[in-house]
Structure 1
């Protein structure tokens, strides 16, 4: 168990280091010795973590050159990282809760920017679209809110959400129409209440 914790901590710190250093696909990462010193872990532990990440296709070692970040867009990076980083239940709950908060904040922003044309278009799509989905609905809401940072955060959290939760949720189109009706009335209370019902947040009124 202790070895597993060490491994997870190294993976987590490597991920943070890549973000902080602004490393991208094709960039070289520090050597095993440098990582050991920087992360304050033994070289054998760092070596094992790097070996596992290479087996997963997240990095590659080139003889005589070093270790590089791979183009892993086709390797379901989010799902792979969540396997190692989001194992405890608290972390999983935080993903779900944060995703909900972003959707609610975008609804609040959309209340200020939505117009009758938006509402009519969305209602028609909800009723008639063969490819209707919860993801597409909230993608459109976030586009109306016009906050690109929220959109990027939501897209990432959405992928984490599905990597952690494989059970499909059967949402009813009528609930989205109720939400759109409240949004069209520009009533914040009704809009967030409709969202709480849609997401089946039983303690919604107490928490939000």
Structure 2
């Protein structure tokens, strides 16, 4: 499959563009659509893709991360990157949405998050249970440990925000959050890309948790709104760079 993919004539890369990774994602998306890559197939290695497109590994690595966050591929340690065995139409719809204008998509996502998470944190402060508090505390602890060990914090951050939404005990909010999970993972990839942001995010999570524990809905809402606004500015800066 690698040979088939590599032999096929690729799109001409606009190397003057700052968004080479988007062109790679678009090309791999077309390979999936045209059947050159199918569920279960392994992609060429990062080095081979860089040679294939005649570019550095940096945009290739970024493209593979985006494809993984959007659910199109899965990295298996020691074996490579595989096209996921899922409904590809669903994945491609997500990719089209992101590649059309990723900045607009991610910035619009924050407007949606404000509608969802600010309401969720308000309800969480009123409805949280002992189990809910335990789940949020576990996510905060995991995030702190990962920071201390110099590890990625994206997963722990996702767990915290999911726990807040679960604490609202509103089925619709939970379902909407699940639907946006792919975009949310990509969003956190950018907002937490800089390790210097990790402590800032952790501090917000700790304060939000304290407000929820105290059932101080007003403070919880204010902190969540500020947390999302700060992350949105980081996303905006990252996508312009």
Q: TM-score, normalised by structure 2?
A: 0.46
Closer/same/farther in 2, CA of residues 52 and 117 from structure 1, 3 Å limit: closer
CA-based RMSD: 3.7
Q: Tell me: CA distance 1:76–1:108, structure 2 relative to 1, closer, same or farther (3 Å).
A: farther
Deviations 1:43-70 (A, max 9, x none): xxxxxxx997453759xxxxxxxxxxxx
Tell me the residue number matched to 2:127. Answer: 113
Q: Which one of 176, 190, 194 corresponds to residue 219 of structure 2? A: 190
Q: 1:95 aligns with which of 109, 130, 147?
A: 109
CA shift, 1:147, in A, is 2.1
Once the two structures are TM-superposed, the CA of residue 137 in structure 1 deviates from its matched residue by 0.6
Q: Distance in 2 between matches of 1:171 and 1:95?
A: 21
Structure 1 pair 147–121 and aligned structure 2 pair: CA distance change class (3 A)? closer
Give yes or no for contact 1:92–1:164 (8 Å, CA) kept in 2.
Answer: yes
Q: Distance in 2 between matches of 1:124 and 1:155?
A: 20
In structure 1, what is the equivalent of residue 209 of structure 2? 180
In structure 2, relative to structure 1, the CA distance for the partners of 1:183 and 1:168 (3 Å cut) is same
1:199–1:81 Cα change, 3 Å: same
Task: Give the corresponding residue for 2:175.
Answer: 152
2:95 maps to what in 1? 83
Q: Is the Cα–Cα contact under 8 Å of residues 191 and 231 in structure 2 kept in the other structure?
A: no
Which structure 2 residue ranges, 5 or more long, are not aligned? Answer: 1-29, 40-83, 147-154, 233-241
In 1, Cα distance between the equivalents of 2:231 and 2:187?
A: 21
3-state SS of 2:215 partner = coil
The two structures have a TM-score, normalised by structure 1, of 0.52
Contact 1:104 1:195 in 2 (8 A): yes
- Give the structure 2 partner of residue 133 of structure 1: 156
Aligned residues: 141
Verify the 8 A CA contact 2:123 2:217 in the aligned structure 1: no
1:73 is the counterpart of 2:86? yes
